[in-house]
Chains A and B, each alone.
Chain A
Amino acid sequence: MKVNATSSSFIDAIANALGVLIIVTLLLVLLSQYFAHKQEHQDKDVVNGQRTKVEHGRDMRIGTLCRKTIIRPWSKEYIVLSDRVVPLNKKAISEAFIMESRKNFGEISEGEWTIFLRKNIDRDIDTFELEFVPNSKAIETKYPVWLTPELETKVDEELLAGLHANSILFFFVYPSGMELFASLYPHLIQQSVLFQAVYQPSSAYKVILWRDSEQFDTFEVDYHC
């Protein structure tokens, strides 16, 4: 009996020691994962010109908020940079694209475009991805600065005029346009116009628009963006 009691207390001690060991190991694993994750995100922020980074969120109007930033085919997109609001000239891009029979890239007065088509068309015929890199210098020469006192008339004359029913305004806001967009924001709210915005953290970030099956996999995007 005595032997048994000693052995059971010994087993208890071993079991407790093992328990502590498991807890410590788990904590170490979790901590290492946390740091690895943090590092990865920091790395991503440093690399310029990758796919528009988007985050979770519910606010409809400002910031990089949607899990998937989906731009409806009838949106009017604008690039906000160097205190200017510049329309993304999709008409010029699509006309240039159709004129070329082979080339998938080119230049318009606001920047450079590239269109990727699928090698094998396995979904709808118009599945594509457009990447656009705005040229700040060209934009600064071609477009005038939007001054604060004239913002209200600018919204009426340039953004709202010609806006189709059921279409929304979509802004890609670069750091050099953030101040202007902050002043523009109350005017847009005042006009009760539907709009979305994404923040492009550096001037090398591309504007990316695409149409693919992945944007049709959930209802939720309609309500989060």
Chain B
Amino acid sequence: MSSHKAYLTLVTILTVLILFFIGIAMNGKQVVDNSKKSAFLLSCGVTPPPTEFEVRLNKIFAALEKDEPLPELCVELHKQPLPENNVPYMEKKVPLGDTVFMRYHGIFSGIINKSVARTFTAVTLSTDMDFKLKTLKQLAHAEQKNLVRYRAWLELARLHLRNRNQKMASSALSKALGITLDNEAWKADAHFLQASVHFTNKDINAALPKLETALRSDPNFVDAYVLYIRALLEASLQKETYFSQDNCTNKLTKLMDSLDMIACVTNDRHTFVHLAKSIESLPAEQKIKSFIVGYGNLLAGNYLTAEQRMRSLLKAKTQWNSSPCTNLLIKQASQVLQKISTLKP
């Protein structure tokens, strides 16, 4: 009995050692390019490692087959914490909130006096633009707490933006960003509004980094994800720069990540179905749009629509010039279709 045990231990140790040496040998061959590596692996009867997109697809399909897939998918894909189940409604994050103060609970707690709250309420209720601007300016310049002055400049920027006065909006936003706050994450809104100013001026390339800053500050900011998706899609019209391989892969990943995050932070897979309607009418390169609408529907579990979009994308491929980006789109669309086909009986 004991000799049998010793034999088993020996075999295990030997296997581990062999695997270890194979690992070292493979690492040393990293100079070999990917296609040669996969050909080598195939010839050895080993399947090549899955691409990043395949890994993503596998996770989505694995999650979709379970009963409550969304929280698991969020953790799997983006290491997002699980939604707050035990927090009372009034204290929950509200990712669709229009300001950081609406999205999170208790930022203003204990520092606002009633008269300031009354003034802000009157400004919100009134539809008289002159009254709004005048009252907010007084608050922004007054001897008030930094957070109150920041909120006032933010609201002024929103009003100017609505009046299509981008110059005034920009200047209000620089004032807002100049104020020191306890938590710099609260400035996500100012960065987002700066991006909106650029977006209104049709300067997509300036809007994108601002949105990235806003989302780094507040990863629960749904409005910023939505504008980011719009900007990334609209950028696809700049064909020369967009369709170079690195840029294309990078932008497609960012688009998919943003859709995942919207589903995760709103804790609602179907949010995309509502979003898709607005995406369809956006100015963007049709194939990118088809792919993204297909991907979003896949995320929502609408296999049929996802399949339709990917098929329509592949149908149109004969009309395209071959480029690394279009090849990538074709490959990924086929992978989605192949995955969906494995679901059918």
Query: A: which residues have CB within 8 A of B?
Result: 73-74, 76, 90-91, 93-95, 97-98, 101, 115, 117, 120-128, 130, 166, 209, 211, 213-214, 216-220, 222-223
Whether the pair B121, A117 counts as a contact (CB closer than 8 A) is yes
Instruction: Using A125-B101, A125-B112, A223-B277 as known contacts, say yes or no to A217 and B124 having CB atoms under 8 A apart.
Output: no
Among B102, B123, B125, contact of A123 (Cβ-Cβ < 8 Å): B102
Whether the pair A216, B94 counts as a contact (CB closer than 8 A) is yes
Q: Which residues of B contact A124 (CB under 8 A)?
A: 97, 99, 101-102, 108
Among A90, A127, A223, contact of B127 (Cβ-Cβ < 8 Å): A90
B151 contacts the other chain (Cβ, under 8 Å)?
yes
A-B contact pairs, 10 of them (CB 8 A): A94-B126, A97-B118, A124-B101, A125-B108, A125-B117, A125-B120, A130-B125, A216-B96, A216-B97, A219-B266
Among A91, A128, A220, contact of B126 (Cβ-Cβ < 8 Å): A91
Name the 4 nearest CB pairs between A and B, nearest first: A94-B126, A124-B101, A94-B122, A126-B120
Chain B 77-107, CB-CB to A under 8 Å as 1, else 0, gives: 0000000000001110010111101110110
B112 (CB) vs chain A CBs: closest residue: A121
Residue count of chain B within 8 Å CB distance of chain A: 42
Q: Which residues of A contact B98 (CB under 8 A)?
A: 216
Whether the pair B121, A97 counts as a contact (CB closer than 8 A) is yes
Chain B nearest CB from A21 CB (Å) reads: 32
A220 (CB) vs chain B CBs: closest residue: B274
Which residues 95-153 of B sit at the A interface, judged by CB distance below 8 A? 96-99, 101-103, 105-106, 108-109, 112, 114-128, 131, 135, 148, 151
Whether the pair A122, B105 counts as a contact (CB closer than 8 A) is yes
Whether the pair B97, A213 counts as a contact (CB closer than 8 A) is yes
Instruction: Using A125-B116, A217-B96, A219-B271 as known contacts, say yes or no to A97 and B122 having CB atoms under 8 A apart.
Output: yes
Could you say which of A90, A122, A166 has the most chain B C-beta atoms within 10 Å of its C-beta?
Answer: A122
Chain A nearest CB from B118 CB (Å) reads: 6
Q: Which residues of B contact A222 (CB under 8 A)?
A: 274
B114 (CB) vs chain A CBs: closest residue: A117
Secondary structure at the B interface, as helix, strand, loop or mixed, is helix
Instruction: Using A117-B114, A123-B105 as known contacts, say yes or no to A94 and B274 having CB atoms under 8 A apart.
Output: no
Secondary structure at the A interface, as helix, strand, loop or mixed, is mixed
Whether the pair B124, A126 counts as a contact (CB closer than 8 A) is yes
Whether the pair B125, A94 counts as a contact (CB closer than 8 A) is yes
B184 contacts the other chain (Cβ, under 8 Å)?
no
Instruction: Using A101-B115, A219-B266 as known contacts, say yes or no to A95 and B108 having CB atoms under 8 A apart.
Output: no
Q: Which residues of B contact A209 (CB under 8 A)?
A: 125
Whether the pair B119, A98 counts as a contact (CB closer than 8 A) is yes
Q: Which residues of B contact A91 (CB under 8 A)?
A: 126-128, 131
A97 (CB) vs chain B CBs: closest residue: B122
Whether the pair A125, B148 counts as a contact (CB closer than 8 A) is yes
Among B127, B151, B268, contact of A125 (Cβ-Cβ < 8 Å): B151
Instruction: Using A93-B125, A94-B125, A117-B114 as known contacts, say yes or no to A122 and B131 having CB atoms under 8 A apart.
Output: no
Q: Which residues of A contact B135 (CB under 8 A)?
A: 98
Chain B nearest CB from A97 CB (Å) reads: 5
Chain B nearest CB from A110 CB (Å) reads: 15
B275 contacts the other chain (Cβ, under 8 Å)?
yes
B5 contacts the other chain (Cβ, under 8 Å)?
no
Whether the pair A95, B131 counts as a contact (CB closer than 8 A) is yes
Q: Which residues of A contact B151 (CB under 8 A)?
A: 125
Instruction: Using A74-B127, A90-B125, A115-B121 as known contacts, say yes or no to A121 and B108 having CB atoms under 8 A apart.
Output: yes
Q: Which residues of B contact A74 (CB under 8 A)?
A: 127, 162
Q: Which residues of A contact B123 (CB under 8 A)?
A: 94, 126
Q: Which residues of B contact A211 (CB under 8 A)?
A: 124
Chain B 249-286, CB-CB to A under 8 Å as 1, else 0, gives: 00000000000000000101001001101000000000
Q: Which residues of A contact B105 (CB under 8 A)?
A: 122-123
Instruction: Using A122-B105, A122-B106 as known contacts, say yes or no to A128 and B121 having CB atoms under 8 A apart.
Output: yes
Chain A nearest CB from B139 CB (Å) reads: 10
Q: Which residues of A contact B275 (CB under 8 A)?
A: 219
Q: Which residues of A contact B108 (CB under 8 A)?
A: 121-125
Q: Which residues of B contact A97 (CB under 8 A)?
A: 118, 121-122, 125
Q: Which residues of A contact B125 (CB under 8 A)?
A: 90, 93-94, 97, 115, 128, 130, 209
A219 to B300, CA, bound (A): 14
Q: Which residues of A contact B90 (CB under 8 A)?
A: 122, 213
A94 to B134, CA, bound (A): 14
Q: Which residues of A contact B271 (CB under 8 A)?
A: 219
Q: Which residues of A contact B99 (CB under 8 A)?
A: 124
Chain A nearest CB from B151 CB (Å) reads: 6
Chain A nearest CB from B126 CB (Å) reads: 4
Q: Which residues of B contact A223 (CB under 8 A)?
A: 274, 277
A74 (CB) vs chain B CBs: closest residue: B127
